[in-house]
Amino acid sequence: MDKTQTTIQITGMTCAACATRIEKGLNRMEGVEANVNLALERASVSYDPLMVDDAKLEQKIIDLGYGAIKLTGDSDEDAGEYKKQEIRRLKQRFTVSLLLSLPLLWAMAGHFSFTSFLPVPELFMNGWFQLALAAPVQFIIGWHFYIGAYKALRNGSANMDVLVVLGTSAAFFYSLYGTLEALGASGHGAHEVELYYETSAVLITLIVLGKLLEALAKGRSSEAIKTLMGLQAQTAIVIRDGAELRVDIMEVVAGDVLIVKPGEKIPVDGIMLEGATTVDESMLTGESMPVEKRQGDSLIGATINKNGVLRMQAEKVGKQTALAQIIRVVEEAQGSKAPIQRVADRISGIFVPIVTVLAAIAFLVWYFIVEPGDVANALEKAIAVLVIACPCALGLATPTSIMAGSGRAAELGVLFKGGEHLESTHHVDTIVLDKTGTITKGKPELTDVRVGTGFDEARLLGLVGAAERNSEHPVAEALVAGIAARSIDMPAAQSFEAVPGYGIEAQVDGQQLLVGTRRLMEKHGISIQSVIQEQQELEAEGKTVMLIAVDGRYAGLVAVADTVKESSAAAVESLKKMGLDVIMITGDNERTANAIASLVGIDRVLAEVLPEQKAKAVQELQAEGRKVAMVGDGMNDAPALVAADIGMAIGGGTDVAIEAADITLMRGDLSSIADAIRMSRLTMANIKQNLFWALAYNVIGIPIAAAGFLAPWLAGAAMALSSVSVVLNALRLQRMK
């Protein structure tokens, strides 16, 4: 049975260990496959509805100690509102915590020789005063750390909260013990006892600040989705009962006739019924040049009508529109895991227990060996080790880069269907390009007209157009379109007959007309010896040539060709400069294929390959040790797209194009291939930078803290900055040009 997909917003996660524990808990449920993304704070779940349901999934997350919000419709807005509220709560907690911690920090400054010039009020040195300030920070501001630690330990694991609670509680309760001991010894408040209230309070303040900065930065990393959602029109003008009504976009249904005025966004996907205009489709394709639209052309929702009032019929609304599909693909990509993240997941799963042991060892070494009997000093070193080792940065290293990279790629018209594709694309060394619709426009056009002696070009083309209007052959359609574009009148044909394999015979304006191959001319005894060389030269350029005879006499020829896209040659050159091998594959004959390949600078051609043989051709290239990206139109190339290491579909947001491949190139030109590969390379470099620095903070920081060169409050600051720096580094991907 097909599995059901759902997305759940998770609240209360603090680090990678939380995400790992929830993922493991969900995956232990029968019939469930889950992926938890720390950066998005979401679980993407695939489950068997006969074995489990949404309620059980949410309950499992709650049982593990976290909150769950299923994302459907308005609940997605609820999740967004929750994040805003969480940022407000963090700001409030940080403000209160900072105000309470500042006097403690001031008192601590008085202990250093280089700050001895600062006047420290006597009250600030009083142990009871310090206790009064530190207790609210420890047990009110920091209470959620205790809850998180309890839930983690109850479930047999450990997370960042455990490290924070161990470190701050040790400092607080040791200071409390010292305060009470001083009271018993002197009968009044503690003044001379060495206290560490500022350590616990400042640590919690810094951790809350780090979480606030992290939340703000993570909000920026999901800007791509917000931007895409903001592109949609909010209202539409609908014709109902003969009247024009402006309604909410959610009230538009398929079949509605809509009016779109100049400068307005096209509300939904549909077909143009009346009008002539140009449409800015840059939001969909990244292409800045407006596209001309006429009756019968397709229109995409959220694109902008530049000039002219148009009337359209709605075909796809709501979740079925191209924009909605793009948003879905980007969300899935951002929520998925790249294979490289498994490294971070494995490390974070065992990280906290290892750090706890290291902190205990540091305490014992200092207490028994370095400075025997000095509990306070040994405790300070252990606290520093606990705090600096929080694995937040490690958990954020990969998902934030995936979010930023896939979001920016979508803005450039490149849709990655998952993090694994964003990662594996950078391994590609060979690009296989389908010819028709990929290198070429995929639509034949009238390219050449050669008129015989004694014939008028306009009159001859009018006769040809009149005859070919009766044919449904693609070449006939190209001829008629090309003649119509020249504003030539086409009279009605009195008779018409298609001769399969030869061409057409027709009677137009009392004249007998033949349009077709050399064999058709020879069949009717038309002399064409003088034009055979001319015909062969045109065919060598990859063009289809049709000879014309009027009343038994050769009158001229016309040629049609599937013309090369303007961007193809430059795109191929760009791919070669990136060190990639570019190969063209086509079902055309070798002469035509080589003609097209030479125009765009491709040296290797696989010609006369049937659609069902393209997948085998890709596999043969893979057998040579190549990492192959197949680029096609997403329909007849589907087997080859699946067979390739990476399948790229050239498309305009259609269902087939998006579903057929690992990557959809929305712009429809080959320059997007280079964009996709560059984005993959940049994202992977960014992930490796993040993982390096996340691990380096701990590999370098833990020994320094254990050796006594790092005060606990400095360790807390370093830990907070490590998470923020990883997120900010990932955000650099959003500036890729």
Q: For residue 402, what are its two tokens?
A: 């995936």
According to DSSP, the β-strands at 646-650 and 663-665 are: parallel
DSSP secondary structure string for all residues of 139-162: IIITHHHHHHHHHHHHTT---HHH
Q: Which residues contact 188 (CB under 8 A, 6 or more apart)?
A: none
Catalytic residue among 161, 269, 434, 562: 434
Q: What is the dihedral of CA 408, 412, 416, 417, to 10 degrees?
A: 100
CA distance 702 to 358: 9
Q: Quick check: 652 and 284 in contact, CB under 8 A? A: yes
| Residue among 653, 633, 733 nearest 329 (CA) | 653
Residues β-bridged to residue 312: 258, 272
Determine phi and psi for 707, rounding to 5 degrees: -80, -5
Angle at CA of residue 405, ends 402 and 406, nearest 5°: 80
Q: Which amino acid, 408?
A: R
CA distance 345 to 397: 11
CA distance 521 to 455: 18
Angle at CA of residue 706, ends 702 and 710, nearest 5°: 80
Q: For residue 711, what are its two tokens?
A: 């005060």
Classify 33 as helix, strand or coil. Answer: strand
- DSSP class of 73: T
Determine phi and psi for 382, rounding to 5 degrees: -65, -40
CB neighbourhood size of 319 (10 A):
10
SS in 3 state form for 242-266? Answer: CEEEEEEHHHCCCCCEEEECCCCEC
Active site residue 78: no
In angstroms, the Cα distances linking 282 to 230, 285, 302, 325, 654 are 14, 5, 10, 17, 16
According to DSSP, the β-strands at 298-299 and 604-606 are: unpaired
CA distance 308 to 548: 40
According to DSSP, the β-strands at 310-316 and 298-299 are: unpaired
According to DSSP, the β-strands at 291-293 and 277-280 are: antiparallel
DSSP secondary structure string for all residues of 591-643: HHHHHHHHHHT--EEE-S--HHHHHHHHHHHHHTT--EEEEE-SSTTHHHHHH
Chain centroid, CA 689 distance in Å: 20
- 208, with CB counted inside 10 A (0-12, 13-18, 19+), is buried
Q: Which amino acid, 173?
A: F
CA distance 419 to 346: 18
SS in 3 state form for 211-235? Answer: HHHHHHHHHHHCHHHHHHHHCCCCE
- Output the CA torsion sign for 324, 338, 615, 606: positive
Q: Quick check: 234 and 262 in contact, CB under 8 A? A: no
| Residue among 5, 138, 11, 130 nearest 69 (CA) | 11
Count the residues in the chain: 737
Residues marked as catalytic: 434
